[in-house]
């Protein structure tokens, strides 16, 4: 989202680069801090219980940091190229094609992950690496797989309207309760993915209505940002809520605020 708006003129592009730099440099500092602490066998509070895997570990791998550095270098070279053109339309043209390529890459990635986890790996190493294990994301891989199986076993009517709001625990308990108790002590209360949660509990109709409302408001906010720049703030907030919903559940703390922001965005955009 930040990259989209940065690719409009020179000043915004420079600001975007500095934002990235202020995230990138501390990552290297943290990486060398870990290396120093491990070499001296120091266990200070800031590395207490540092995990060997997970997002933090992946982010601090040398390979990840080098790739991130190359991306920053590409941003600098791209900015220098655009400055040499001295034409604002060049920014917009690159933004258009860059996001078309990114959109295609995201769709292809989603399709490949779906194919791999559906069991159609065909002895392909690439597809095998895309299989989500049951332990992925603090056992989210397991409940995601079970949520998909649960929805797939629904009759047609239930696929359309779901098992009922707030009934994921009961539906999962009825289908896989014994297995979940044997593995984890108790059935999962939620799907730990808002998209799967609403698909199971409200069906296709409910999920389309819930997420369709948010996506349509985001689209209108982006469209109206040309004449009302402040409207994009509300669109970004809703988009952020959707993004975190990939690995989280709807909560009484965040969901009401999302609906408040949704109402503000609708009011702001007419």
pLDDT digits (tens, 9 = 90+) for 221-251: 888 877 877 788 888 889 889 988 988 888 8
Q: How confident is the model at residue 11 (pLDDT cuts 50, 70, 90)?
A: confident
Q: How confident is the model at residue 143 (pLDDT cuts 50, 70, 90)?
A: very high
| Predicted local distance difference test score (pLDDT) of residue 163 | 92
Contact indicator for 218, 239 with CB cutoff of 8 Å: yes
| Predicted local distance difference test score (pLDDT) of residue 110 | 82
Please state the separation of Cα 132 from the chain's center in Å.
15
Q: Which percentage of the chain shows pLDDT scores above 70?
A: 89
| Predicted local distance difference test score (pLDDT) of residue 54 | 54
140-175 b/e with 16+ CB inside 10 Å = b? Answer: bbbbbbbbbebbeebeeeebeebbeeeebeebbbeb
For residue 10, CA distances in Å to 23, 42, 84, 89, 97 come to: 21, 45, 11, 12, 18
Q: How confident is the model at residue 158 (pLDDT cuts 50, 70, 90)?
A: very high
| Predicted local distance difference test score (pLDDT) of residue 202 | 94
pLDDT digits (tens, 9 = 90+) for 91-127: 777 778 888 888 898 888 888 887 777 766 666 777 7
Is residue 160's pLDDT more than 90?
Answer: yes
pLDDT digits (tens, 9 = 90+) for 179-238: 988 888 888 889 999 999 999 999 999 999 999 999 999 888 888 877 877 788 888 889
Q: Tell me which residue of 217, 196, 181, 109 sits closest to 150, measured CA to CA.
A: 196
| Predicted local distance difference test score (pLDDT) of residue 114 | 79
For residue 21, give the 3-state DSSP assignment.
helix
Task: Take residue 223 and report the two structure tokens written for it.
Answer: 């469209």
| Predicted local distance difference test score (pLDDT) of residue 252 | 84
pLDDT digits (tens, 9 = 90+) for 17-64: 888 888 888 888 877 877 777 777 766 555 545 545 455 666 667 788
| Predicted local distance difference test score (pLDDT) of residue 57 | 63
| Predicted local distance difference test score (pLDDT) of residue 59 | 67
**How confident is the prediction for the chain on average, in pLDDT?**
82
- 239 versus 10: the higher-pLDDT residue is 239
Contact indicator for 184, 139 with CB cutoff of 8 Å: yes
């Amino acid at each position: 989202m930040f990259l989209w708006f940065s690719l409009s003129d020179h000043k915004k592009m420079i600001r975007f680069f500095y934002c990235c730099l202020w995230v990138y440099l501390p990552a290297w500092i943290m990486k060398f801090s870990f290396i120093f602490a491990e070499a001296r066998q120091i266990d200070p509070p800031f590395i207490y219980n540092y995990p060997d895997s997970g997002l933090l570990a992946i982010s601090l791998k040398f390979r990840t940091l080098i790739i991130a550095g190359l991306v920053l270098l590409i941003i600098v070279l791209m900015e220098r190229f655009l400055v040499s053109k001295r034409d604002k339309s060049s920014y917009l043209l690159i933004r258009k094609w860059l996001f078309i390529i990114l959109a295609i890459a995201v769709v292809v990635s989603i399709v490949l992950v779906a194919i791999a986890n559906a069991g159609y790996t065909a002895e392909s190493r690439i597809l095998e690496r895309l299989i989500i294990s049951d332990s992925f994301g603090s056992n989210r891989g397991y409940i995601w797989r079970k949520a998909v199986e649960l929805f797939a076993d629904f009759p047609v009517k239930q696929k359309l309207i779901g098992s009922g709001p707030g009934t994921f625990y009961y539906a999962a308990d009825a289908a896989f309760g014994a297995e979940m108790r044997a593995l984890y002590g108790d059935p999962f209360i939620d799907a730990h993915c808002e998209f799967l949660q609403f698909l199971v509990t409200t069906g296709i109709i409910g999920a389309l209505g819930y997420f369709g409302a948010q996506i349509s408001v985001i689209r209108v906010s982006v469209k109206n940002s040309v004449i009302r720049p402040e409207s994009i703030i509300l669109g970004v907030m809703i988009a952020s809520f959707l993004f975190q919903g990939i690995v989280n559940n709807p909560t009484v703390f965040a969901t009401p605020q999302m609906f408040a922001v949704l109402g503000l965005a609708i009011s702001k955009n007419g």
